[in-house]
Amino acid sequence: MEPQQTIGFAHFLGQTDIVGKSLLVILLLMSAVTWYLIITKTITAFTLRQRTRRFLDTFWNAPSLQAVATRLEDQHPDEPFSHLTWHAIVAARHHQRHGGNKLNDAGSGADFITRSMRRVIDEETARFESGLTVLASVGSTAPFIGLFGTVWGVYHALVNIGMSGQGTLDKVAGPVGEALIMTALGLAVAIPAVLAYNFAVRSNRMVLAQLDSFAHDLYAFLTTGSHVNDVAAVVPARPAAVARAGA
């Protein structure tokens, strides 16, 4: 009974060498980063979903783009849809006032608005995808790190058994079983990362599809001459830095 009482994770940790302990630290760091990204992205996605719902409700119930522009002037955009709307309005106003005097402003007003909206969508896409590379890397490498730790532990266990000359089943099964802990840890780290990655990719795809659809509707509003003139005339001038960002 006494040998079996010493078998376990604590015994494995005490018997493993610097390589095994380093692999264990790497897996723990991967797990910490994974759960940090899971928690922060979940909170961020929930917050953005609430803000987007409020903005879209305000946008579609607004009497005109003038009212939307006034609201965005008072409250700085804090989510993708309002961010896209504000930059599109700023682009329409900028081109209406300054025309195509520079290469960056070349083309018709519709082309200028399209480029501005495309830049915003690209920025939002990059922001949504931040952290996904880490999740994908953890999900794909953690099982192999755990497997390597198991192979390394089994190797040392067999070497020690061979040197001691005691090859009975209880002497072999205990160390080998302890080495399998690393494989289990690798899977425990990888599974949440893979699930979180798949969920985040699907959620981002749905949000970006909605943003792209909204961009088409907003483009239709802004490229209607009367709307462009109204917005250009009503939206107050912003600081130069904001105008350059919208342009």
From CA 87, how far away is CA 134, in angstroms rounded? 30
* pLDDT tens by residue, 27-41: 999 999 999 999 999
Rg (CA), the chain: 29
Handedness of CA 57, 63, 69, 71 (dihedral sign): negative
Per-chain mean pLDDT for the chain: 77
Provide the H-helix boundaries in the chain.
2-5, 9-15, 18-60, 65-74, 80-98, 109-128, 132-164, 169-222, 225-234, 240-246
Q: Which contiguous run of DSSP H or E holds residue 118? A: helix 109-128
Residue 131 DSSP symbol: T
DSSP-based three-state secondary structure for 64: coil
Answer whether 58's CB lies under 8 Å from 71's CB: yes
* pLDDT tens by residue, 151-189: 887 877 777 667 666 655 555 666 667 778 888 899 999
* pLDDT tens by residue, 97-113: 655 555 444 556 677 78
From CA 92, how far away is CA 89, in angstroms rounded? 5
pTM over the 0.75 mark: no
